[in-house]
């Protein structure tokens, strides 16, 4: 038996000297072991080869079993080490809930150094879920800046497709995406801008049947639509869901914006505009026209109000209506209040302070 063990050791040493791969050395030793075991099993007890290799198969079987167990143990350790390394690598690249990758910290550095935002505010943005109704002139800049700011989840609902006439002001779309559904065009642009945010496109028209369930999934609603039917629907769904609503509107050279949140004491959209204007008083952009940068101004204000609301920075437009006149560079504000007889939120009670 000692002779065979010596031969096995010699094979290992020779393979090491010749820089033979470990796998090849193990195969040679394994073949020698198999020959010895077969000799012990096949040859008669008086055979010289059997006597030279120990004369009994049992010690070899015990040795082979021990070697097999050691090999299995080594495989188990190697697999566990591999899983541990993979988990460590994943931990380096995948942030914990509420934490940031190194690339995100670099991206949001200008936010984090702001006293009013800081790391705590940026975490709130990452955890926030914002739904944008309308992927047109107002929704375009709003979505771009929400994505750039690091809002964790951005939903967008619109049933329209990109048209050539949109490109004069709807900056989230491109000429190459004419004919594409606006929500998918917006999704593509936001992902290109910030791959760290989740985008949820809904290529459908907002309806009363889906509004309540959809709004329940989000913390804040932005209304950038261009018709009163959808504005009133959006407001009523937001009031029913007790979600704050940032709504803006534009025409020609002018725009207006406010944050409507009756659940927390400010009026709803219908408190301020209880009835739609008479025909011809508020024509759509297709009829009245609109200067290209105007939706950028108001849409960016919507994103700014959203960031302030989410982080608690500064003072929002809740309870105030801001009116912007681009032609004469004039900005005015007026106080707005809840109407007790409002058909939408008249019975809504404000949440306690700090809710």
Is-contact 317 305, C-beta < 8 A?
yes
Structure tokens at 157: 């609902």
311 and 224 in a single domain? The answer is: yes
Range of the domain at 254: 128-335
Q: Tell me, yes or no, whether 176 lies in a domain.
A: yes
- Considering the domain architecture, whether residues 178 and 317 belong to the same structural domain is answered as yes
Grouping H, G, I as helix, E, B as strand and the rest as coil, residue 233 is helix
Q: How does pLDDT run across 259-273, given as a tens digit for each residue?
A: 999 999 999 999 999
What average pLDDT does the chain have?
86
Are 29 and 12 in contact, with CB atoms under 8 Å apart?
A: yes
Give the Cα separation of 242 and 121 in Å (integer): 22
Q: Which residues contact 237 (CB under 8 A, 6 or more apart)?
A: 208, 211, 212, 215, 221
Q: Please report whether residue 107 resides in a domain.
A: no
In a domain, 345, yes or no: no
Verify that 59 and 132 share a domain, yes or no.
no
* 185/246 same-domain check: yes
What is 241-281 written as a DSSP string?
HT--EEEEEEEBTEEEEEEE-GGGTSPPHHHH-SSPPPTTT
Establish if 192 belongs to a structural domain: yes
Nearest 5 degrees, angle CA 298-CA 301-CA 304?
160
Give the tens place of pLDDT for each residue, 154-204: 999 999 999 999 999 999 999 999 999 999 999 999 999 999 999 999 999
Residue 154's nearest CA partner among 146, 162, 145 is 146
Rounded to the nearest angstrom, the gap between the alpha carbon of residue 320 and the centroid of all alpha carbons in its chain is 32
Beta bridge partners of 157: 133, 202
Is the pLDDT higher at 193 or at 2? 193
């Amino acid at each position: 038996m000692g002779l065979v063990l010596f031969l096995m050791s010699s094979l290992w040493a020779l393979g090491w000297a010749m820089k033979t791969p470990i796998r090849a050395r193990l195969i040679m030793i394994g073949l020698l072991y198999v020959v010895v075991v077969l000799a012990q099993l096949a040859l008669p007890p008086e055979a010289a080869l059997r006597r030279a290799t120990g004369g009994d198969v049992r010690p070899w079987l015990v040795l082979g079993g021990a070697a097999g167990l050691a090999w299995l143990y080594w495989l188990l350790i190697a697999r566990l080490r591999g899983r541990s390394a993979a988990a460590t690598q994943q931990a380096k690249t995948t942030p914990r809930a509420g934490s940031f990758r190194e690339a995100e910290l670099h991206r949001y550095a200008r936010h984090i150094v702001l006293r009013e935002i800081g790391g705590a505010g940026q975490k709130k943005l990452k955890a926030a879920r914002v739904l944008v109704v309308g992927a047109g002139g107002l929704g375009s800049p709003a979505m771009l800046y929400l994505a750039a700011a690091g809002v964790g989840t951005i939903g967008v609902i619109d049933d329209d497709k990109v048209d050539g006439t949109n490109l004069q002001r709807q900056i989230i779309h491109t000429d190459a995406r004419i004919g594409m559904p606006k929500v998918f065009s917006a999704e593509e642009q936001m992902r290109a801008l910030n791959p760290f945010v989740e985008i949820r496109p809904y290529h459908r028209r907002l309806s009363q049947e889906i509004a309540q369930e959809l709004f329940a999934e989000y913390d804040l609603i932005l209304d950038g639509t261009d018709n009163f039917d959808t504005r009133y629907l959006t407001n009523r769904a937001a009031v029913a869901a007790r979600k704050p609503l940032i709504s803006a509107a534009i025409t020609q050279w002018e725009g207006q914006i406010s944050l409507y949140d009756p659940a927390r004491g400010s009026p709803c959209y219908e408190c301020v505009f209880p009835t739609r204007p008479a025909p011809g008083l508020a024509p759509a952009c297709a009829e009245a026209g609109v200067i290209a940068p105007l939706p950028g101004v108001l849409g960016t204000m919507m994103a700014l109000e959203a960031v302030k609301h989410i982080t608690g920075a500064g003072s929002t437009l809740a309870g105030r209506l801001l009116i912007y006149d681009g032609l004469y560079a004039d900005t005015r504000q007026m106080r707005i209040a809840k109407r007790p007889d409002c058909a939408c939120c008249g019975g809504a009670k404000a949440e306690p302070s700090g809710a």
